[in-house]
Amino acid sequence: EAEVAQSPRYKITEKSQAVAFWCDPISGHATLYWYRQILGQGPELLVQFQDESVVDDSQLPKDRFSAERLKGVDSTLKIQPAELGDSAMYLCASSFGTSGRTGNEQFFGPGTRLTVL
Amino acid sequence: SQQGEEDPQALSIQEGENATMNCSYKTSINNLQWYRQNSGRGLVHLILIRSNEREKHSGRLRVTLDTSKKSSSLLITASRAADTASYFCATDSGGYNKLIFGAGTRLAVHP
C-alpha cells in the first residue's frame, strides 16, 4: 500500500541551528501539505503545494521557515534558525486533488518529531 | 487558528461500550472529515461527510452533520482497545482542499 514517506523521524537540535525535513508523497498526488502539530493540539497547516506551486503559506513564519517542491514531487521544509518554540511534530500529507477541487482525503506520513534545546 | 472544537477533550470507556465525540465549527463548510491519530504517529482518514449529507456510516463508525447547528458527531460502536487514539475533526471551507483541524478528543478504551 502506498504511503507518504518522511525523514528523519526524530530530530534534536540546538536553538539557532538549521534543520530540514523531507517528504515524499504518494505517487500521483498533486497536492502536498506541511503541518505543525504542537503536543495536545490539532495539526496546523504551514504550507500547501499544488504541483510545484505554493497555494497557501499564510501560516508559515517566513522569516525562518521555507519550503520547496521543485519538481512537483518530493518536498523539503527548512527552519533557520530554529527556536525553542519550534519544538513540535511536523507532518506531511498528500492528496489526489487538483486546483480548486475539494473533498479529498489527505494521507499523512508518520511525522518528524523536532526537539529544540 | 483552529475552527473546530471537539467535545469532550478526553473520554475513557470500557471495551464494548459506544464512544461519542462531538465537533463544533464556526463558518460554513464544503465538507467535514474525521481523522484518527495513534500516539506519536501520523493521522489516518476515517470518514468524510459533505455539507449536503446528514449521516454516513463506515463499519463501526457513524458520523452525523447538522449544518444548522454547525456541529458533527462521531459514534464508534462496540469499542475495542485498539480504538484508543486521538480523534480530530477537520473542516474544509474553501478551495484547494485546505483543512482546519480541531484540538481533538483523546479516547481511551480499557479492556
Residues of B in contact with A109 (CB under 8 A): 42
* Per-residue confidence (pLDDT) for residue B93, from 0 to 100: 82
Give the mean pLDDT of chain B. 93
Does residue B96 register a pLDDT over 80?
Answer: no
Residues of A in contact with B48 (CB under 8 A): 103, 105
What are the cell numbers at B20?
A: 461519542
Distance, CA of B14 to CA of A112 (rounded, Å): 32
* Per-residue confidence (pLDDT) for residue A98, from 0 to 100: 55
Does residue B30 register a pLDDT over 60?
Answer: yes
Does residue A103 register a pLDDT over 80?
Answer: no
Specify whether the CB–CB gap between A68 and A90 falls below 8 A. no
Three-state SS sequence of chain B: CCCCEEECCEEEEECCCCEEEEEECCCCCCEEEEEEECCCCCEEEEEEEECCCCEEEECCEEEEEECCCCEEEEEECCCCHHHCEEEEEEEECCHHHCEEECCCEEEEEEC
Q: What is the DSSP letter of A35?
A: E
Q: Measuring CA to CA, which residue among A97, A90, A93 is closest to residue A112? A: A90
DSSP string computed for A66-105: EEE-TTSS-EEEEESS--GGG-EEEEEEEE---TT-----
Inter-chain contact B104–A42, Cβ cutoff 8 Å?
yes
Nearest to A109 among B42, B50, B99 (CB): B42
pLDDT, greater one: B95 or B86: B86
Q: Within an 8 Å CB–CB cutoff, is residue B52 touching chain A?
A: no
Does residue B1 register a pLDDT over 70?
Answer: no
Distance, CA of B110 to CA of B16 (rounded, Å): 9
> pLDDT tens digits for B56-81?
999 999 999 999 999 999 999 999 99
Residues of A in contact with B45 (CB under 8 A): 105-107
Q: Within an 8 Å CB–CB cutoff, is residue A116 touching chain B?
A: no
Give the H/E segment covering residue A113.
Answer: strand A112-116
**Confidence at B36, pLDDT banded by 50, 70, 90:** very high
Q: Within an 8 Å CB–CB cutoff, is residue B30 touching chain A?
A: yes
> pLDDT tens digits for A61-91?
999 999 999 888 999 999 999 999 999 999 9
